[in-house]
């Protein structure tokens, strides 16, 4: 019986593998047939992506489609308009090749989810996957079949405005989320009309822009590149991502849109990627500003040789490919390969069979269940940073609250950066949601500051009056949407405007002070945390940020998010990330003397000579993985199935987690390891697993993780391998604490 079952399984596997192979062959044949009919001009057309604005509007784009000179467009919107364009491409161009419509659908289309950094704080790939599925359903209903996401640039610099768009600082967390995002976009079948081709970006290293200044140079040694930066991209490729976007930055002296090592050696040769690579906006032309190409012709040659298949917006390819071929600076085989890569994706998306969007599909947009999911994601993305004396949750019976702050009622700001299509009419603010819970009369609302950068304190008195007549103050502040995102980097990452003064003034009233911060980056908020009783970090939470926050404030659910990034004390502490090396002089608490305590005479005797700042000290404000709950969790019974792992083996790590408080809640249980000695230095902690569990009050559960030899492997400059030696393992609530054990790998 057992054998028959095993045989059946093998048969099913063989049949499904061979079906897949056949489907692949069918597509490959179609691609080659089409390619053999194409003129060089038509091939170059497929390699060009036109922007509606820069190309002079819809009529010009349609003409380009008619002429077969438009493989893809971006920033073209509307079901009717897109269908009309497709009709021109399919019916009026010589070969009828449909246009691939791309758009930046980064964290939702019309239903807006939290910014990706916020989604990452949920540590919940399932709900993130569903959010991306919903985004795909909404966007595809208008004929969009390709999104320039997920953005999975690891960054260790919160000054960088684009930290908002990514999944934070850690390669493991980002990899699990990258997989979820790709799977959500692409669905079960690429040819399903609701599937969007994913485009992991920005390949690669862009998040390491020096000084956090956008578009800046990056220097990333290969071990860091492979052990950290490339990890989420590999996960996205393995999840089936169909396209990649080459980035703006130069990497170790070679711009990434002209980098054969990352685009050919790693992506194609090592990973076997068979989709296509699009440049970022004008990043081929920008090879000239980089000082890497002499002119547009040179730039086109470099990008083609490096393996960029499609050019976004600029026309270096269109204007120069023919001449480059004549001069033998590029080959016909390279052009054919690029076009094959593009057509392959178009065939996989089913565009040739069904190029049009069904006008009926648009009806699903802003569906109630989509908004409800946005509320769930927003709720799970909120991180409780402080809750002295159980200030939160507030009772629904509270007689009055003061709602203060520039982001209490700012529908656009809460939707965050990279939000082209969100509808402010559907963006429910915290003020509205709190009024819905308590009724208008119990809510004393005064903005105090009109927007986040407002320095005018004239509204403070009224805010204080509102605070004094209320039982509690809830302050909603942070950053407006425009302070994070592309080109929106900051040198100081404090609360902008006069917000800190307003918070300090409110604290003087002595009323319980809750601050809720919505921002596109982790801000340096040490003083504000100290001044308040409770702090929730809500990122930019999207359309349903208000109701989600009200759910938490009034205890419908407990906060359960965990930080996907370290919070620093101030900009001068950057970079500070948990995944750091130990150094030869690791900081220990006893070694630190605060700058103000150094004696004038013989000052050197008080110094620890260790790795810290005299002013900031040795620790960040809050560690990666941190987040409180309305309940408490107790961790116990850490057990390892063995204290020895061998090449072909594995270790099971188990721990018991108990809800010891009086609130049903989720906890994100985290597993970290440390490779004690390596052929290159290894980080003091590496996340290797996490699980979100729900525990009723008093309930306990055993959480289990499996560690495999591959989980311990790293690139040491020559090879990727697991090195024999001793390993630490921790299971706990954040990167700074946890039950500890150890094992050996032989």
Residues that bind ligand NOJ (CB under 6 A): 74, 104, 148, 201, 280-281, 486
Nearer to ligand NOJ, 486 or 664 (CB): 486
DSSP structural state of residue 735: T
Smallest distance from ligand NOJ to CB 467, Å: 41
Residue closer to ligand NOJ, measured from CB, 104 or 421: 104
Can you list the alpha helix ranges (DSSP code H) found in 125-219? 125-140, 171-186
Residue 250 gets the label, from left (phi > 0), alpha (psi -120 to 50) or beta, of beta
Q: Exposure of 400 by Cβ count < 10 A (0-12 exposed, 13-18 middle, 19+ buried)?
A: middle
Q: Which is nearer to ligand NOJ, 28 or 486 (CB)?
A: 486
124 φ/ψ angles, rounded to the nearest 5 degrees = -140, 85
Q: Min. distance of Cβ 60 from ligand NOJ in angstroms? A: 19
Could you tell me the smallest distance in angstroms from the CB atom of residue 151 to ligand NOJ? 6
Q: Between residues 74 and 177, which has the closer beta carbon with respect to ligand NOJ?
A: 74
Cβ–Cβ under 8 Å, residues 155 and 249: no
Secondary-structure breakdown of the chain: helix, strand, coil percentages, each rounded to the nearest 5: 40, 20, 40
Read off φ and ψ for residue 394, nearest 5 degrees. Answer: -85, 150
- The overall longest dimension of the chain from CA atoms, in Å, is 86
The rounded distance, in Å, linking the Cα atoms of 301 and 381 is 44
Dist CA 680 CA 657 (whole Å): 35
Token reading at 190? 């690429």
Show contacts of 81-85: CB within 8 Å, 24+ apart. 82/142, 82/143, 82/144, 82/357, 83/143, 83/356, 83/357, 83/359, 85/58, 85/61
CB 698 within 8 A of CB 659: yes
Instruction: Specify which residues 612 forms β-bridges with.
Output: none
Beta bridge partners of 634: 658
Around 484, how many Cα atoms within 13 Å sit in the side-chain half-sphere? 37
Catalytic-residue membership of 192: no
Q: Which is nearer to ligand NOJ, 86 or 314 (CB)?
A: 314
Enter the tokens of residue 602: 């013989």
Q: How many angstroms separate the CA atoms of 416 and 112, rounded? A: 9
> 170 or 280, CB closer to ligand NOJ?
280
* Cα angle value 635/637/643 (rounded, 5°): 125
| Residue whose beta carbon is closest to ligand NOJ | 148
Check if the beta carbon of residue 235 is closer than 8 Å to that of residue 176: yes
To the nearest 10°, the Cα dihedral for 447, 449, 450, 452? Answer: -120
53: burial class by Cβ within 10 Å (0-12, 13-18, 19+)? exposed
CA torsion through residues 362, 364, 368, 372, sign: negative
Look at the block and give the residue holding tokens 């492997």. Answer: 713
247 with 203: CB under 8 angstroms? yes
Whichever of 201 and 685 has its CB closer to ligand NOJ, that residue is 201
Least distance (Å) between residue 75 CB and ligand NOJ: 7
Q: Residue 489 in contact with residue 161, Cβ under 8 Å?
A: yes
Please pick, among 104, 170, 250, 280, the residue that the annotation labels catalytic.
280
Closer Cβ to ligand NOJ, 149 or 518, answer by number? 149
Which residues have CB under 8 Å from 22's CB, separation 6+? none
CB of 201 to ligand NOJ, least distance (A): 6
Closest CA relative to residue 364, chosen from 575, 141, 133, 537: 141
What distance in Å separates the CA atoms of residue 194 and residue 207, rounded to the nearest whole number? 30
Which residue lies nearer to ligand NOJ by CB, 93 or 135? Answer: 135
Distances (CA, A) of 487 to 64, 441, 479, 492, 598: 31, 42, 15, 15, 40
Question: What distance in Å separates the CA atoms of residue 112 and residue 541, rounded to the nearest whole number?
Answer: 8
Residues near 526 by beta carbon (within 8 Å), at least 6 away in sequence: 569, 570, 621
Nearer to ligand NOJ, 201 or 373 (CB): 201
Strand 665-675 versus strand 714-715 pairing type: unpaired
* DSSP assignment string, 368-385: HHHHHHHHHHHHHH-EEE
Which residue number, 74 or 190, has a Cβ lying nearer to ligand NOJ?
Answer: 74
CB nearer ligand NOJ, residue 247 or residue 568: 247
List 702's β-bridge partners, or say none. Answer: 656
User: Among residues 74 and 669, whose Cβ is nearest to ligand NOJ?
Assistant: 74
Q: 77: left (phi > 0), else alpha (psi -120 to 50), else beta?
A: beta
Instruction: Say how far apart CA 514 and CA 535 lie, in whole Å.
Output: 6
CB of 164 to ligand NOJ, least distance (A): 12
Active site residues: 280
């Amino acid at each position: 019986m057992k054998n028959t079952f095993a045989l059946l399984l093998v048969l099913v596997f063989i049949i499904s593998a061979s079906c897949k192979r056949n489907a692949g062959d069918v597509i490959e044949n179609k691609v080659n047939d089409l390619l053999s009919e194409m003129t060089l001009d038509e091939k170059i057309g497929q390699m060009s992506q036109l922007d509606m604005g820069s190309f002079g509007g819809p009529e010009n784009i349609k003409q380009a489609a008619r002429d077969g000179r438009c493989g893809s467009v971006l920033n073209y919107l509307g079901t009717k308009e897109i269908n009309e364009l497709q009709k021109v491409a399919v019916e009026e161009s010589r070969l009828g090749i449909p246009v691939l419509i791309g758009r930046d659908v980064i964290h939702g289309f019309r239903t807006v989810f939290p910014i990706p950094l916020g989604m990452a704080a949920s540590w919940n790939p399932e709900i993130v996957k569903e959010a991306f599925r919903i985004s795909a359903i909404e966007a595809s209903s208008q004929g969009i079949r390709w999104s320039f996401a997920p953005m999975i640039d690891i960054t260790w610099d919160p000054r960088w405005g684009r930290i908002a768009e990514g999944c934070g600082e850690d390669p493991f967390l980002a990899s699990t989320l990258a997989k979820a995002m790709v799977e959500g976009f692409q669905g079960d079948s690429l040819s399903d009309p609701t599937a969007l081709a994913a485009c992991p970006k920005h390949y690669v290293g862009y998040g390491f822009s020096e000084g956090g200044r956008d578009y800046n140079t990056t220097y990333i040694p290969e071990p860091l590149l492979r052990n950290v930066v490339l990890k989420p991209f590999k996960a996205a490729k393995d999840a089936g991502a169909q396209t990649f976007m080459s980035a703006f930055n130069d990497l170790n002296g070679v711009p990434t849109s002209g980098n054969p090592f990352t685009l050919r050696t790693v992506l194609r040769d090592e990973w076997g990627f068979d989709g296509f690579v699009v440049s970022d906006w004008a990043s081929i032309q920008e090879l000239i500003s980089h000082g890497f190409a002499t002119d547009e012709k040179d730039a086109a040659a470099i990008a083609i040789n490096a393996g960029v298949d499609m050019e976004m917006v600029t026309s270096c390819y269109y204007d120069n490919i023919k001449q480059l071929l004549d001069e033998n600076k590029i080959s016909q085989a390279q052009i054919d390969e690029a076009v094959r890569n593009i057509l392959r994706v178009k065939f996989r998306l089913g565009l040739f069979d069904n190029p049009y969007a069904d006008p009926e599909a648009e009806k699903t947009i802003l569906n109630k269940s989509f908004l409800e999911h946005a509320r769930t994601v927003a709720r799970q993305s909120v991180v409780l940073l402080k809750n002295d004396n159980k200030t939160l949750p507030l009772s629904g019976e509270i007689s009055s609250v003061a709602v203060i702050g520039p982001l209490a009622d700012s529908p656009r700001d809460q939707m965050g950066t990279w939000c082209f299509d969100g509808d402010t009419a559907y963006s429910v603010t915290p003020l509205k949601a709190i009024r819905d819970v308590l009724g208008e009369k119990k809510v004393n609302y005064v903005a105090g500051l009109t927007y986040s950068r407002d320095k005018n304190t004239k509204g403070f008195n009224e805010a204080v009056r509102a605070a004094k007549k209320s039982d509690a103050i809830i302050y909603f502040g942070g950053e407006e949407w425009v302070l994070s995102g592309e080109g929106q980097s900051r040198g100081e990452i404090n609360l902008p405007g006069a917000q800190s003064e307003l918070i300090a003034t409110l604290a003087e009233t002595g009323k319980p002070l809750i601050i809720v911060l919505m921002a596109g980056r982790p801000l340096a908020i040490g003083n504000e945390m100290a001044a308040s009783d409770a702090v929730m970090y809500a990122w930019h939470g999207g359309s349903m940020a208000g109701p989600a926050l009200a759910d938490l404030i009034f205890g419908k659910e407990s906060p359960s998010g965990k930080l996907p990034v370290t919070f620093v004390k101030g900009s001068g502490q950057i970079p500070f990330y948990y995944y750091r090396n130990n150094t030869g002089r690791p900081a220990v608490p006893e070694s630190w003397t605060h700058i103000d305590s150094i004696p004038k005479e013989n000052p050197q005797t008080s110094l620890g000579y260790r790795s810290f700042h005299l002013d900031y000290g040795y620790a960040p404000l809050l560690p990666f993985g941190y987040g409180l709950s309305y309940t408490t969790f107790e961790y116990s019974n850490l057990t390892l199935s063995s204290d020895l792992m061998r090449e072909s083996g594995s270790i099971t790590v188990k721990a018991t987690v108990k809800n010891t408080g009086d609130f049903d809640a989720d906890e994100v249980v985290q597993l970290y390891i440390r490779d004690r000695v390596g052929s290159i230095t290894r980080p003091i902690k590496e996340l290797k697993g996490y699980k979100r569990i729900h525990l009723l009050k008093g309930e306990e559960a055993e959480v289990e993780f499996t560690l495999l030899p591959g989980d311990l492997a790293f690139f040491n400059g020559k090879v990727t391998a697991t090195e024999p030696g001793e390993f630490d393992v921790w299971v706990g609530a954040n990167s700074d604490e946890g039950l500890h054990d150890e094992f050996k790998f032989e």
